[in-house]
Chains A and B, each alone.
Chain A
Amino acid sequence: MALLRKPVEIRTALSLTPLIDVVFLLLLFFMLASVFHREGEIEIAARGTSTQAQPVTQPLFVRVHADGRYDVNGEPVAAGEIGSSIAAMLAASADLSGVVLQIRKGTSTQIVVDSLTRLREADVSPVSLAK
Chain B
Amino acid sequence: MQLQQPKRPARQHSQLPLINIVFLMLIFFLLAGTIAPAYELNVSPPSSQQKASDNRHGSTVYVSKDGQVSFRDGLMEVTDLGSTVALRSPRAPDNLRIAADQETDGQLLIDVVAQLRGAGVKRVYLVTRQGEP
Decide yes or no: A24 and B57 within 8 Å by CB, A46-B114, A117-B48 being known contacts.
no
A119 at the interface (CB under 8 A from B): no
Is A112's CB under 8 angstroms from B106's CB?
Answer: yes
Is B29's CB under 8 angstroms from A42's CB?
Answer: no
Docked pose: A19 CA to B52 CA in angstroms: 37
Q: How distant is A131 from chain B, measured CB to nearest CB, in Å?
A: 5
Is B104's CB under 8 angstroms from A113's CB?
Answer: no
Give every chain B residue within 8 A of A86 (Cβ-Cβ).
Answer: none
Residue pairs across A and B with Cβ atoms less than 8 A apart, 16 shown, are A34-B29, A34-B36, A36-B32, A38-B34, A40-B52, A42-B126, A49-B114, A51-B122, A103-B110, A108-B104, A109-B102, A109-B109, A110-B102, A113-B128, A120-B50, A129-B109
Using CB atoms and an 8 Å cutoff, list the residues of chain B in contact with chain A: 15-16, 18-19, 22-23, 25-26, 29-30, 32-37, 45-53, 56-57, 97-98, 100-107, 109-110, 113-114, 117-118, 122-132
